[in-house]
Amino acid sequence: MSVDIRDSLEKLEGRICAACSEFGRRRSDIVLCAVSKTHPLVDIESAVENGASCIGENYVSEILGKIPLSHPAYKVRMIGHLQTNKVRKVIPYVDSIDSVDSLHLLTKVCDAAASVGKRIEVLFEINSSMDANKTGFRDLDELRRSLDFIMGSDAVFFNGFMTMGPVGGEEARIRAAFDFFNETIGRIENEYPDLPVGIRSFGMTDDFRIAIEKGSNMLRIGRAIFGERS
């Protein structure tokens, strides 16, 4: 079924503004990242025409198949798990890798960005549900080593953290995951007082209201904009 993306964005904007009003947040402090997983370029273009300036993609194969190398009207963020053998392929097409979850992956991103003369933004993904089947840093020592490494790199710049709440989880579990995420960032900020934590990316279609309450400043929303995955 065809989705009216303009109408979807207007309705979503109303819900985001209502949550901001309820929880004392400024709407201007929150970036909406439209997640276009499995949806075609024409849908991305429609979203951009109606105000979207940030696009999130999960799969390298989709990025290579539909995202133009030049996309000045919007930024593309890689938000899905990234295999190290695909880093060099995707770097030219994206503006940020938000799913860095190991020192090994970080070094590959740095090398690939340097090889094409591109300085790329990265976020570190934290496994806030501590689920072994989910991606994201679970070992704080490795996260610290990754931060130490990135401070000496000119090819990438660190700009914050990303997490995903438990999919289909009860509200209490979602809140616990978001609290853990914020507490982890707080610990890191105490240890690295000069660390630029610009972005706290959490909150999707089913839990963005809680994320706004808990301090997210980047929401990654797909279904509420583009409809069910094709």
Angle between helices 140-150 and 171-191 (to 10 degrees): 50
Rounded to whole angstroms, the maximal C-alpha distance in the chain is: 50
Per-residue pLDDT at 64: 97
Kindly report the pTM of this predicted structure.
0.95
Domain residue ranges in the chain: 5-226
| CATH level 3 topology of 5-226 | TIM Barrel (3.20.20)
Runs of H (alpha helix) within the chain: 5-23, 41-49, 60-66, 87-90, 103-115, 140-150, 171-191, 208-213, 223-226
Per-residue pLDDT at 201: 99
pLDDT less than 50: residues of the chain: none
Per-residue pLDDT at 230: 65
Separation CA 45–CA 53 (nearest Å): 10
The strand pair at 199-201 and 156-162 is best described as parallel
R_g (Cα) of the chain, nearest Å: 17
Per-residue pLDDT at 169: 75
Helix, coil or strand: residue 221 = strand
